[in-house]
Chains A and B, each alone.
Chain A
Amino acid sequence: MMAAATIACGVEVDPAVLEAQQARIDAIRRATPAAVSIFAGDSGGGSGVLLTRDGYAATNFHVVQAAGPAVTCGLADGRLYDAVLVGVDPTGDLAIVKLLGRDDFPVAEVADSDRVQVGDECFAIGNPFLLGTDLQPSISAGIVSGVHRYQFPAGTILEYTDCIQVDAAINPGNSGGGLFDAVGRLIGINGRASFEKRGRVNVGAGYAISANQLRHFLGALRSGRICDHATLGATVSTAVDGHVVVADILESSDAWRRGLRYDDEIVSLAGRPVRTVNAFKNVLGVLPAGWQVPLVIRRDGRRQDLLVRLQAVHSPAKLAELAAGDAEEGARAGGDKPEVPAAVRDVYDRRAGFANHHFNVVERDRVAAGLAAVRDARPSGPWVLAGTLAAGGEFRIELSDATATIDLPTGTSTLAGDDEFDRQPVPPGSGGLLPALVLWRRLVVEGPAAVGQTIFWGTAPRQPASFTAGAAGELVDVLESAAAGVVARFGVDAAGHVVWIDLWTSPDADPCEVRLTWPDGNTAGGMPSSIDASFGGEPFATFVIDDAAAAEAPR
C-alpha cells in the first residue's frame, strides 16, 4: 500500500481522504437510480423515491395534492414514465405513486431510521427548483443536525413528527425525495425546511419524514385509502414535577376503556419513553389510526401496562376534504371533474374514502392469493375445532355455511349463517367469538371478495405488544370486512395464515379479540394449534386444539 496517493496536479492526498471520497461516490451511485423526478405540469412537481421493483414510489402528499391522479416521472436513466396516484396521508405528508410500464425498476434499500444519529453523514437526492429537466437528479450532502424533531403544523395540517433534521440543502422541489445515509440507504423522505427572512431557499435546516414512519404507513398507503393519523383520545401536559400526565381524555376512547384516567403519568408509549409532551407527539405521530400499541402508565406510584387501540384524528368527511385540496377546489369552481389521463385510466378508480380504489382491489387480491395458497390444507366442508381449554374442560367448535356451534363446559351456543351477527355476540361474554370464527372460515374458504364488503385495510403489527423504541415489529396484512351487521379485521401473515381477528358488534364498543397461533410447518389439519379469545381486555378462553379432533368428520 502506498502511504499517500498522488493526483494529477501533483498534490499528495491522504489515502483516507480518497477512500472517503470513493465511499461517497459509491453511496450516491447506489442510491441515485431509485430517485424520481416528478413533474405535474402547471401544478409544479417535486421528487420521489422508488421502493418496489413494480414501481411503487414514495413522495410527499403536498407534491401530489394539486396534481390529480396522474403525474409524469423521470428517472436518472433518462426515461419518462407515467405514474398514477395510489394512496395519500394528508396529515403525515406522505403519498405513494406507482410508476407504470416496468417490473424491474431500481429500488432504494430502506434502513432503520431509529439508528440515525446526530452527526451522521447524509445526502438528499431530488429535483430542487424542478431543475431536473434532463432527468438527472441533484445531490446535496450534509450531516444529520437533529433526530426525533417535532415540527408544528405551520399554517397547514402537515405535521412533521419524529422527523430527521439535516443541513443538507432541502429546497422547494426536493419535497418527496429520499434522504440517504452514508452508504446510500434510505433513511427518510425530505419534505420541509425552515424558511425565513432570506426567502424560500435553504438556510441550513431541512426536515425528513423518517423511513420508519413510512414503513408504518406503507401498507395503508398501498391500500389506496386516504390514511389517517392516530390519537390516544387523550391530551397530555407537563406536570409541575416534569412528568407527562393525562390532561384530558375522551370517555368514548379505547384508552379510557382500558383504564387510562386524568392525571395518570405516561411512562412510555409504543415502547418509547415519554419524558416530554413533544416526545409523546413524536411517538404518536408515526403511528397509523387503528393500531394497537403498548402504553405504560404510573398511578399512585404503581406501574400499569396497557394495550390501547389508537383512534383516528379526523372524521372520514374531514379527511376527504383535506385530501381533495386545491385540485378539487379548482374542479368545483370550473364545474367539472379533473380529467383522468388515458395513460392511467385503467388503474384509477376514485371512490369515497380512497385516493385510488383500484389499488385496494390489487392488494386485496394479493392477500386473497396468500389465503388461497393454504386453503387446500383445510377441509372443504364444515370445520371442526376440538380440544381442551387451558382453564380446564373440553370444547368443540363446528363451523359450516349454514350454522355454527360452540360447545363449552358452560354451555352450547349456536349461530345461524343468515343471522345478523351484531345481535348475537356469542358465546356469552366473548364479545362475538363465534361470528369472528364464522367470518374467518368464510374468508378462507370463499375468499375476501365473497365476504360482505371486504377491503385491504393496510398493515398492522403481528404482535401489538412488541414495539421496540416506537418502531413496530413484524407487520402483517390486514383485511377489513363489513358483513352481517359487524365489522371484522383480519391480520394475515406472509404465509397466508390469519393470525388475529378483531370483531366489533358496535363501532364504539370493545371488539372481540381472537389471536390464532399456528404450528411450525404445515400440519395435516391445516388448523391453528391454539386460539386465544378476549373481550374488553379480559381473557375469555384459550383453546388448545387437538389435530386429531380437528380431522374428525363432523358430528
Chain B
Amino acid sequence: MIPCRAVVFVGALLIARAVGAATESSPQLVAATAAHSVVKIYGAGGLRGLEAYQSGIILSPDGRIATAMSTVLDSEGIDCVLDDGRRFEATLLGVDPRRELAVLTIDAADLPAAVPAEERAAAGTRVLAVSNMFGVAVGDERASVQRGVIASVVPLKARRGAADAPYTGMVYVLDFTTNNPGSPGGAIVDSRGRLLGMIGKELRSSAGGIWLNYALPVDELLAGCEAIVAGRSVAVPAADTTPFDLGLLGIVLVPDLLDRTPPFVEAVVQGSTGARAGLAADDLLIAVGGRAIGSRAAAEQAVGAIPAGDPLRLSVIRKGTVVDCELGPRPTVAEGRAPQGAAP
C-alpha cells in the first residue's frame, strides 16, 4: 500500500468565510455585525490592577477564538460569553509568546466568525474598534464600539513595567484610546466590517512612556493563529497546573534537603534568562521583587506569586555585596518551557 501523506490543515481554512462582511452598509450595521464576532473573556485576575476580563475575536464558526496572551488566561476555567449571552468554557489551544497572542476553542457551531481583510491596512484608514473595554458589557450585551483612524503603521517599541514588550513587529498605531482595561483581544474593523487587526495588551511607549493605542495587523494575527492551530507554536496542555519555578528561567537552586535550605544558586543555564540577567553559581538569593525570603521554598513561592507578565527582580548576595538582577517580565510556565526564539 502506498502510504498516505497526512492532510495538513492549512491556514486558508482557518478563517471561515461563511459570514459575509457588510458591504457598503450603514455604520450602525457595520458596528452591530462587528460586535457579533467579539466575545467577552473571563479568567484569572481581579487583583493588583490586573483585570480578570478581556476580549476575543471569533475566527471560525466552529469555535476558534483569537485573543491576547495575558494573565487572564492563567486560569483553569476560561469563560467566553457571546453577544447572544451564551457562555462557554474555553480551552487554551496554544499561545504565540512573541506576538502575545493566544487561540482558544469553545465547543460551539455556526458562530458569527469575523471576516478578515485581504491585507494589512494603511495609515489613514478609518476604522472601528470593538472590545469589551472596562467590562462594560455583560451577558447578552454587545461589546463597545469606538471610531477612529489608523495613524501610522510602524514597528512596536513598547514596554510593560521595566521590561521590553516581546513583539517588535509592525502594528497599527491608532488615533483614539483603544487599549483600555478589557480591550486586549478586541477587533479593529474597516468601514465594511472586515477584520483589520486585534487590539493588543496595555503597553507604554519605550520612547516617551505614554500609553499606546495599537493593534496587531491582520496578517500577523492570522500568521500567529495559523501557527498555533498547526501546532507550530507552544501548545499548553489545559490540565497543566505546574507551578512556576526558577528552573524555567535557567536558574538551578541547591537541592531542597533541609527544613530551611538556604536558597543558593547551584548553576545557571547558559544563554538562559537567568544568565542574561547576570545571575551566577554560588549567589545567595535574599529577596524576590524587593521582599526578603529566607529559604529555598520561600524563594520558589515568592517567584510563583508574581503574576506572569509582571517584572521579576531578584536580589542576591555575591561576595558580601547585594546585587539586584532584573529578569524582565515573568513568563508563564508555557513560555518558560518554550525554547528561546521558537516562535514562528
Instruction: State the A residues within 8 Å of B (CB).
Output: 117-121, 142-146, 148-149, 151, 165, 167, 194, 196-198, 202-205, 242, 275-276, 278
Please, which residue of chain B has its CB at the minimum distance from the CB of A202? Answer: B177
Taking a contact as CB atoms under 8 Å apart, the answer to whether A143 and B27 are in contact is yes
Among B118-175, those with CB < 8 Å from A are 133-134, 136-147
- Distance between Cα atoms of A146 and B35 in the complex (Å): 10
Distance between A199 CB and nearest chain B CB, rounded to angstroms: 10
User: Is B49 within 8 A of A146, CB to CB?
Assistant: no
Q: Smallest Cβ distance from B32 to chain A, in angstroms?
A: 6
Given contacts A194-B136, A275-B85, contact A204 B146 (CB under 8 A): yes
Taken together as a complex, chains A and B put the C-alpha atoms of A275 and B146 apart, in Å, by: 26
Q: Which chain A residues lie closer than 8 Å to B332 at the CB level?
A: none
**Residues of B close to A121: CB separation below 8 A:** 27
Known pairs A120-B27, A275-B140. 8 more at Cβ < 8 A?
A: A117-B32, A118-B31, A121-B27, A142-B146, A146-B144, A167-B147, A167-B176, A205-B134
Top 9 A-B residue pairs of the complex, sorted by shortest distance between their CB atoms = A119-B31, A119-B28, A204-B177, A167-B146, A119-B27, A203-B177, A276-B139, A145-B144, A194-B134
Flag if B140 contacts A204 (CB, 8 Å).
no
Q: List 19 A-B contacts (CB under 8 A).
A: A118-B32, A118-B142, A119-B27, A119-B28, A119-B30, A119-B31, A119-B145, A142-B147, A145-B144, A146-B145, A165-B136, A167-B145, A194-B133, A194-B134, A197-B49, A197-B181, A204-B177, A205-B134, A275-B140
CB distance from A362 to the nearest CB of B (A): 40
| A residues near B133, Cβ cutoff 8 Å | 194, 204-205
User: In the complex the two chains form, is A278's CB within 8 Å of B138's CB?
Assistant: yes
Q: Are A118 and B35 in contact (CB under 8 A)?
A: yes
Q: Determine whether B178 belongs to the interface, using a CB cutoff of 8 Å to chain A.
A: yes
> At the interface, is chain A mostly helix, strand, loop or mixed?
loop
Interface residues of B in 35-66 (CB under 8 A from A): 35, 49
Q: How far is the CB of A514 from chain B (nearest CB, A)?
A: 41
Q: A145-B144, A146-B137 are in contact. Are A197 and B211 (CB under 8 A)?
A: yes
Nearest chain-A residue to B144 (Cβ)?
Answer: A145
Residues of A within 8 A of B28 (CB): 117-120
B294 to chain A, nearest CB (A): 34
A242 to B180, CA, bound (A): 30
Q: Which residue of B lies closest to A147 (CB)?
A: B142
Q: How big is chain B's contact interface, by range? A: 20 to 34
A120→B49 CA distance, assembly (Å) = 33
Smallest distance from the beta carbon of B36 to chain A beta carbons, Å?
Answer: 11
Give the residues in chain B near A242, CB-CB below 8 Å.
Answer: 85
Do A205 and B27 touch across chains, with their CB atoms under 8 A apart?
no
Query: Which residue of chain A has its CB nearest to the CB of B49?
Result: A197
Quick one: which of A119, A167, A194 contacts B26, CB cutoff 8 A? Answer: A119
In whole angstroms, how far apart are the Cα atoms of A275 and B86 in the complex?
A: 12
A278 touches B27 (CB 8 A): no
Please measure, in the bound complex, the distance between the C-alpha atom of A205 and the C-alpha atom of B176, giving whole angstroms: 11
Nearest A-chain residue to B87, judged by Cβ: A242
**Which residues of the partner chain A approach B136 to less than 8 Å between Cβ atoms?**
146, 149, 151, 165, 194, 205
- Please report the C-alpha to C-alpha distance between residue A242 and residue B178 in the assembled complex, in whole angstroms: 32
- Minimum distance in angstroms from B213 CB to a CB of chain A: 9
Assess whether A278 is in contact with B145, with CB atoms less than 8 Å apart: no
**A276-B134 contact, Cβ under 8 Å, with A119-B31, A145-B145, A205-B144:** no
Residues on the A chain within 8 Å of B292, using CB: none
- The reply to whether the CB of B223 lies closer than 8 angstroms to some CB of chain A is no
* Most chain A CB atoms below 10 A, which of B32, B134, B138, B211: B134
Give CA–CA (A276, B178) in the complex, Å.
27
0/1 interface trace, chain B 217-233, chain A, CB 8 Å (1 if under)? 00000000000000000
The answer to whether A203 touches B180 (Cβ under 8 A) is: yes
A241 to chain B, nearest CB (A): 12
A196 touches B181 (CB 8 A): yes
If the complex has contacts A120-B28, A142-B147, are A194 and B141 also in contact, measured as CB distance less than 8 A?
A: no
Minimum Cβ distance to chain A for residue B192 (Å)? 13
Known: A119-B27, A119-B29. A165 touches B144 (CB 8 A): yes
B179 to chain A, nearest CB (A): 9
Q: B146 contacts A276, CB within 8 Å?
A: no
A119-B30, A278-B141 given; A198·B211 CB < 8 A: yes
Complex CA–CA separation, A197 to B133 (angstroms)? 13
Task: Report Cα–Cα, A276/B137, bound state, in Å.
Answer: 12
How far, in angstroms, from A287 to B197 measured CA to CA in the complex? 41
Interface residues of B in 78-120 (CB under 8 A from A): 85
Whole-angstrom CA separation of A151 from B136 in the bound complex? 7
Q: Which residues of A contact B49 (CB under 8 A)?
A: 197
Check B145–A204 contact: CB distance below 8 A.
no
Most buried by B among A121, A148, A204: A204
- Give bound CA distance, A194 to B145, whole Å: 14
**A140 vs B176: C-alpha distance in the bound complex, in angstroms?**
13
Across the interface, name the chain B residue whose C-beta is closest to A201: B177
Q: Which of B184-240 contact A (CB under 8 A)?
A: 202, 211
- Complex CA–CA separation, A196 to B35 (angstroms): 24
Q: A148, A198, A205 — which one has the most chain B CB atoms within 10 A of its CB? A: A205
B27 (CB) vs chain A CBs: closest residue: A119
Q: How distant is the Cα of A197 from the Cα of B211 in the complex, in angstroms?
A: 9
Contacts of B29 in A (CB 8 A): 119
Given A119-B31, A143-B147, A197-B49, does the pair A205, B142 have CB atoms closer than 8 Å? no
Looking at the complex, which one of A119, A151, A196 makes contact with B180 (CB distance below 8 Å)?
A196
Cα-based distance from A144 to B27 in the complex (angstroms) = 10
Q: By the criterion CB–CB under 8 Å, are B141 and A205 in contact? A: no
What is the distance, in angstroms, from B309's C-beta to the closest C-beta of chain A? Answer: 15
Q: How far is the CA of A120 from the CA of B31 in the complex (A)?
A: 9
Known: A117-B28, A275-B85. A194 touches B137 (CB 8 A): no
- Assess whether B85 is in contact with A276, with CB atoms less than 8 Å apart: yes
Given A118-B31, A194-B134, decide whether A143 and B144 contact each other with a Cβ distance below 8 A: no
Question: Which of B27, B144, B146 has the most CB atoms of chain A within a 10 A radius of its CB?
Answer: B144
Point out the residues of chain B lying under 8 angstroms from A144, CB to CB.
145
- Contact partner of A204 (CB less than 8 A), chosen from B35, B180, B202, is B180
Complex Cα gap A209–B67 (Å): 32
Minimal beta-carbon separation of A124 from chain B (angstroms)? 14
Chain A residues near B202: list those with CB within 8 A: 197
Residues of A contacting B142 in the complex (Cβ-Cβ under 8 angstroms): 118, 146
